[in-house]
């Protein structure tokens, strides 16, 4: 096995036992990037020099007996996280040459944990989309089939992980942008509770929804990274003051008696293979003692209208700062998708329409929150497919303004409610494309959903299958 194919846990053990160095590990990842990037396009910026410097520093620390959670581990970071001295574009030509004067809190925490950053990954411009086709720097391809989409907006991050360019990636989710590309690329994608991880230094898309989180090869790796990222931040007033915990502690805990909720509306209009694989996954969990209960949640279709209105409204506000006066290019550099969202958001916030659209959407959002709260009185977690389809063909999002909302319909409700959710692979289609299943928990129940995901992962081990690029 090449070193770049290791999980974080395996790499940490190898580094600790001096089987290889962080420089060796980083060089293997860089070699893989150079080999496949011309056809994959997962990165916007590759920081080879900086990465090797960080790796050498990590090796010195390891030699001195130091131990940090991610010491010497090569990762990628989505290009909407500000990185001191390293270009950050949000995959838009408006910020084509923007170099931030500070680090996002997430980046600062990763640096303090000893991680080695190999570069910034491609995404839908401004995170507007679920395909990575709206990137101003070319679309990312799916490692399982280069004619297919990786999903989005964290498509580059998911592709970089599943193709073994890095050991883990950092993405962000507003309504599916971690879980959906993780589903299409066959990775573990963890969307934490809103406010569990700081948004400071993340280029804002929809501020009441944005949630940074990890994309990894295994559930345990996601738990390790969440341990690093979670916690209150003085720079972000929306972060939770609740004390953080060790999310790796209860991974192996028995799920006997765990109540899993299934809502039939989450299984309407999706690929038959996906339904079958999720049902098979439920049987695996049932054999481990879990109890399957049928529940009734709002039809996820309601979330499309709510998300469309709220997200566009917040986009129109957040993108107003990009006027080209202080930094970046002027507004003529905005792509078509950004223009559409700005116009619709401005309209919904305008006089005479605010009550009819924005206020009404917020009221329905509250009903969705209450609906989940009621469900969690009867069950511990909710399980559903992550996406209605497997990875679609390249070009599917073109001339389809609602592509993202339709692709994310099954994850939008939980994002709107600020809930934690995790995607895990539960099978493969006839075309050998990954099929994803999501596990949703109550607010701040990350350890619980990680526990359920881990128990399933260890029983099935779909995570060991890798794309043949």
Secondary structure in 3-state letters for 383-424: EEECCCCCCCECCCCCCCCCHHHHHCCCCHHHHHCCCCEEEE
Which letter does DSSP use for residue 64 in this model?
Answer: T
- Torsion sign, CA atoms 85, 101, 196, 342: negative
User: Is residue 277 within 8 Å of 426, Cβ to Cβ?
Assistant: yes
Active site residue 317: no
State the catalytic residue, choosing from 130, 154, 163, 177.
177
Query: Residues 6 or more apart from 199 whose CB is under 8 A from it?
Result: 207, 210, 211, 212, 236, 238, 239
d(CA 151, CA 183): 8
State the catalytic residue, choosing from 12, 78, 217, 455.
78
d(CA 124, CA 156): 9
**Six-digit token string for 29:** 């990842």
Give tens-digit pLDDT for 344-354: 999 999 988 99
User: Residue 398 has what pLDDT?
Assistant: 84
Q: Give backbone dihedrals phi and psi of 146, rounded to 5 degrees, phi first.
A: -65, -10
Q: Is 377 inside any structural domain?
A: yes
Q: Which residue has the higher pLDDT, 404 or 52?
A: 52
State the catalytic residue, choosing from 135, 153, 154, 387.
153
Q: Which domain holds residue 360?
A: 6-464
**Six-digit token string for 309:** 């209105």
Q: Is 182 inside any structural domain?
A: yes
User: Residue 32 has what pLDDT?
Assistant: 98
- Other C-beta atoms closer than 10 Å to the C-beta of 340 total 15
Residue 407 has pLDDT above 90, yes or no: no
Q: On the CB side of 245, how many CA atoms lie within 13 Å of its CA?
A: 12
User: Is residue 383 within 8 Å of 292, Cβ to Cβ?
Assistant: no
Active site residue 139: no
Q: Specify the CATH number for the domain of residue 128.
A: 3.90.1300.10
d(CA 127, CA 50): 26
Q: Is 224 inside any structural domain?
A: yes
d(CA 276, CA 115): 39
Query: What is the mean predicted confidence (pLDDT) over 297-326?
Result: 95
User: Residue 374 has what pLDDT?
Assistant: 98
Give tens-digit pLDDT for 205-232: 999 999 999 999 999 999 999 999 999 9
As to burial, measured by CB atoms within 10 angstroms (0-12 exposed, 13-18 middle, 19+ buried), residue 369 is middle
CA nearest 220: which of 438, 456, 466?
Answer: 456
Three-state secondary-structure class, residue 240: coil
User: Residue 325 has what pLDDT?
Assistant: 95
| Alpha-carbon distance values, 3 to 84, 197, 215, 244 (Å) | 28, 29, 18, 31
Q: Is 1 inside any structural domain?
A: no
Q: Give backbone dihedrals phi and psi of 291, rounded to 5 degrees, phi first.
A: -110, 125
Q: pTM value?
A: 0.97
d(CA 80, CA 89): 7
Residue 311 has pLDDT above 90, yes or no: yes
Q: Is 407 inside any structural domain?
A: yes
Confidence band for 136, pLDDT divided at 50, 70 and 90: very high
HEC profile for 287-340? HCCCEEEEECCCCCHHHHHHHHHHHHHHHHHHHHHCCCCCCCCCHHHCCHHHHH
Q: Is 469 inside any structural domain?
A: no
Active site residue 153: yes
User: Residue 401 has what pLDDT?
Assistant: 75
Query: Residues 6 or more apart from 286 whose CB is under 8 A from it?
Result: 292
Alpha helices in 102-230 (DSSP H): 105-112, 155-162, 179-185, 219-229
Residue 271 has pLDDT above 90, yes or no: yes
**Six-digit token string for 135:** 């990137």
Q: Is 369 inside any structural domain?
A: yes
Task: Work out the end-to-end distance of the chain between its first and last CA atoms, rounded to an integer number of angstroms.
Answer: 15
- Percent of the chain with pLDDT strictly greater than 90: 96
Residue 404 has pLDDT above 90, yes or no: no
How many structural domains are present in the chain? 1
d(CA 142, CA 146): 5
User: Is residue 408 within 8 Å of 130, Cβ to Cβ?
Assistant: yes
Give tens-digit pLDDT for 63-80: 999 999 999 999 999 999
Give tens-digit pLDDT for 161-185: 999 999 999 999 999 999 999 999 9
Three-state secondary-structure class, residue 429: coil
User: Residue 459 has what pLDDT?
Assistant: 97
């Amino acid at each position: 096995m090449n070193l770049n194919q290791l999980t974080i846990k395996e790499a940490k053990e190898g580094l600790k036992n001096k089987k290889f160095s962080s420089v060796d590990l980083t060089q293997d990842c860089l070699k893989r990037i150079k080999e496949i990037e011309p056809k994959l396009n997962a990165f916007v910026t590759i920081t080879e020099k900086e990465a090797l410097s960080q790796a050498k520093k990590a090796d010195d620390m390891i030699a001195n007996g130091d131990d940090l959670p991610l010491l010497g581990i090569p990762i990628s970071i989505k290009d909407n996280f500000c990185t001191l001295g390293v270009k950050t574009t949000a995959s838009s030509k408006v910020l084509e040459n923007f170099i931030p004067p500070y680090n996002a809190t997430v980046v600062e925490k990763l640096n303090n944990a000893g991680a080695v950053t190999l570069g910034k990954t491609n995404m839908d411009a401004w995170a507007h989309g679920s395909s990575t086709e709206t990137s101003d720097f070319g679309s990312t391809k799916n490692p399982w089939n280069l004619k297919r989409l990786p999903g989005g907006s964290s498509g580059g991050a998911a592709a970089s992980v599943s193709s073994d360019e890095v050991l883990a990636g950092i993405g962000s989710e507003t309504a599916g942008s971690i879980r959906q590309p993780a589903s299409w690329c066959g990775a573990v994608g963890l969307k934490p509770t809103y406010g569990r991880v700081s948004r400071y230094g993340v280029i804002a898309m929809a501020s009441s929804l944005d949630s940074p989180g990890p994309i990894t090869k295994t559930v345990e790796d996601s738990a390790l990274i969440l341990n690093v990222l979670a916690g209150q931040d003085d720079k972000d007033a929306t972060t939770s003051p609740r004390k953080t915990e060790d999310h790796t502690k209860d991974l192996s805990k028995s799920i006997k008696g765990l109540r899993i909720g299934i809502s039939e509306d989450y299984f309407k209009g999706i690929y038959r293979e996906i339904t079958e694989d999720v049902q098979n996954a439920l049987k695996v969990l049932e054999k481990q003692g879990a109890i399957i209960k049928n529940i009734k949640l709002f039809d996820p279709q309601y979330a499309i209208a709510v998300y469309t209105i709220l997200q566009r409204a917040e986009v129109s506000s957040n993108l107003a700062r990009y006027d080209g006066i202080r930094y970046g290019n002027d507004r003529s550099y905005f792509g078509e998708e950004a223009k559409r969202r700005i116009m619709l958001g401005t309209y919904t916030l305008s006089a005479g329409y605010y009550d009819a659209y924005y206020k009404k959407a917020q009221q329905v959002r509250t009903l969705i929150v209450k609906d989940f709260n009621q469900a969690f009185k009867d069950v511990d977690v909710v399980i559903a497919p992550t996406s209605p389809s497997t990875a679609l063909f390249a070009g599917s999002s073109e001339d389809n303004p609602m592509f993202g909302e339709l692709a994310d319909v099954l994850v939008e409700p939980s994002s709107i409610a600020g809930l934690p959710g995790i995607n895990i692979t539960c099978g493969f289609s006839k075309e050998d494309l990954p099929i994803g299943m999501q596990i949703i928990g109550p607010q701040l129940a990350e350890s619980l959903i990680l526990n359920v995901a881990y128990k399933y992962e260890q029983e099935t081990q779909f995570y060991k299958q890798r794309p043949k690029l």
